[in-house]
Structure 1
Amino acid sequence: MKVFSSDCTFNYSWDEVSTANWRKYCPWNDKSTHVKAVDTLSRTIEPSTGILRTERLITCYQSAPKWVLSLFGGSPLSYVYEVSYVDPVTKKVTMCSTNLTWANVLNVRETVTYQPSRLTPDNQTEFQQEATITALCTGWQKIKNKVEEASVERFRENAKRGREGFEAVLEMSRRVFGEQKELEKMQSS
């Protein structure tokens, strides 16, 4: 098992980040063109806590080499199951995901959190990401280690692109909603 972890601070409020999170895979995010579809399977609010729980199925095109696809009988599509929790009281978004495709060969479990910065809670949001990657091939430990190391490196590259794309979504959201607030302000005057 190998672990990937990353953190950063977005210069946006938690309200902006938690709202834009639902548009992370929008068509104008040029860093998420591999995402074919995002289907919401269920969405509920826990009455006693106000926590929004959402289950989604994310369908992606994978860029695995054709020989790998033919070796494992794979398709160019892969599926990820995600469960997220938005807690409006503690202002924390937690997203847990796992791969469904090739789960018998490689297991990837990711947890992402967004919460207000401890230093500037109104203006910045802390992002934390951790993924455990486990190759399930039996036998040679060297091969298993190589598969896990290559998977962590690929995850690192994808995570970087994902953060860059989310920054673009945040900027676009701020621009659009800033203009909307200005229009509302002008109309109420």
Structure 2
Amino acid sequence: MKIWTSEHTFDHPWETIVQATWRKYPNPMNTAVKGIDVIDRKVENGILKSHRLLSSQWGLPNWARSVVGSTNIFYASERSEVDPKRRQMTLETNNLTYGHVIAVDERLVYQPHPEDNSKTLLKQEAVVTVRGIPLSSYVENLLTSKISHNAGKFSVFFCQGRMAIEWVINKLDSEVQDLKSSTDEILNQTKKSIDDITRHHHNSDFTNPA
């Protein structure tokens, strides 16, 4: 068993990060994810609890195919809790496909940064366990190294990549600006229509006195 841990600070408030996690797909950082299905979602004691199934398609290297087979569609279970009172979001993910051979258990915790409330601190942990195959320790080291290398782009199960989160936030900001522009245009057109109607009635009253 190998354990990998990491911390990262986002220059965005906690509420923004939480919104971005629900809209992370599709994103250009990772095109492998093919589907997300909500298995269960409920609120208990003010905490939003969700269970989702993630499916992804990956081309495995030859060494991995010899270990786990040729399947290209992989499934993972994601359980999350959002506690708005404590301002904490927790995600726990584990692979379902070939989990009896290679198990990767991932835990992510998002909280306001203790030194700057306008930022968000991500604490990430992945536990890699390889069973029943030769050179299991070597494979565990290889997978842990891969996780560390890719952490900036996507996480173990492709659900909380740092670059992907930033991309979603930029997309949300763009949507807000587009909405504002559309709203301003509608308001301007409405004001112009009202002015035209008012001017028309004013001219009618002037040319046709009672």
Same fold (TM over 0.5): yes
Distance 2:173 2:129 in 1: 38
Report the Cα distance in structure 2 between the residues aligned to 1:148 and 1:184, rounded to whole angstroms: 53
Aligned length: 181
Query: CA separation of 1:16/1:178 partners in 2, compared to 1, >3 Å: closer, same or farther?
Result: farther
Q: Give the percent of matched residue pairs that are identical in Structure 1 and Structure 2.
A: 31
Q: Does 1:81 align with 2:77?
A: yes
Counterpart secondary structure, 2:132: coil
- Tell me what 2:41 maps to: 43
Structure 1: gaps of 5 or more residues: none
Query: Per the alignment, in what secondary structure is the counterpart of residue 116 of structure 2?
Result: coil
Which structure would you say has the larger RCO, counting Cα contacts within 8 Å and 6 or more residues apart? 1
Structure 2 CA distance for partners of 1:104 and 1:41, relative to 1, 3 Å? same
**TM-score by structure 2 length?**
0.78
TM-score w.r.t. length of structure 1: 0.86
Aligned-partner SS, 1:129: strand
* C-alpha RMSD of the superposition: 2.3
Counterpart of 2:148? 156
Structure 1: distance between partners of 2:34 and 2:16: 25
Q: Which has the larger radius of gyration?
A: 2
What does residue 131 of structure 2 align with? 136
CA 1:76–1:25 in 2, change beyond 3 Å: closer, same or farther?
Answer: same
- CA distance in 2 between counterparts of 1:81 and 1:37 reads 12
**In the alignment, what sits opposite 2:17?**
17
Change (3 A) 1:150 1:70: closer
Pick from 36, 58, 78 the counterpart of residue 62 of structure 1: 58
Deviations 1:7-52 (A, max 9, x none): 11111111111011101122xx111201111111110001xx2100
Cα 1:183–1:125 change in 2 (3 A) is farther
Q: C-alpha deviations, 1:31-87, integer Å up to 9, x for none?
A: 1201111111110001xx210000000001123125643653341111110000000
The Cα of 1:155 is off from its aligned counterpart by 1.5
Gaps of 5+ in 2: 155-161, 188-210
Paired residue for 2:175?
A: 176
Question: Any conservation in 2 of the 1:16–1:174 contact (CA below 8 Å)?
Answer: no
Change (3 A) 1:182 1:118: farther
Match of 2:172, SS? helix
CA distance in 2, matches of 1:107, 1:71: 13
Distance 1:92 1:179, change over 3 A: farther
Shift of 1:157: 2.7
User: Which residue does the alignment assign to 1:5?
Assistant: 5
Counterpart-to-counterpart distance in 2, 1:119 and 1:186: 41
Distance 2:63 2:99 in 1: 18
